[in-house]
């Protein structure tokens, strides 16, 4: 019998994570590799953020973020 183990590896950027945590609750413009999302940053996790925009949550992988601009 052959036993196989599957593992998941994700890059963690502590500087981006800490910076995003410091602006939780703020309105942000987030440029991703697929486009721009503007909304309220509600959640920051080590691998993703949640932006509330137009009443819908957008789950964005931190690895896909190009830049972030805090607004007001």
pLDDT of residue 1: 60
pTM (2 decimals)?
A: 0.83
Residue-by-residue pLDDT tens, the chain, 72 positions: 678 888 877 778 899 999 999 999 999 999 999 999 999 999 999 999 999 999 999 999 999 999 999 997
Full strand arrangement of the beta sheet holding 56-61: 56-61, 48-53, 35-44, 27-32, 65-71
CB 72 within 8 A of CB 27: yes
CB 41 within 8 A of CB 20: yes
Which fold does the domain 14-71 belong to in CATH?
SH3 type barrels. (2.30.30)
pLDDT of residue 3: 80
Domain boundaries, given as residue ranges, for the chain: 14-71
């Amino acid at each position: 019998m052959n036993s196989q183990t599957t593992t998941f590896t994700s890059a963690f950027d502590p500087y981006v994570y800490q910076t995003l945590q410091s602006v939780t609750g703020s309105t942000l413009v987030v440029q991703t590799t697929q486009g721009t999302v503007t909304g309220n940053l509600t959640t920051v996790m080590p691998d993703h953020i949640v932006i509330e925009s137009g009443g819908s949550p957008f789950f964005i992988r931190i690895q896909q973020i190009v830049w972030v601009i805090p607004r007001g």
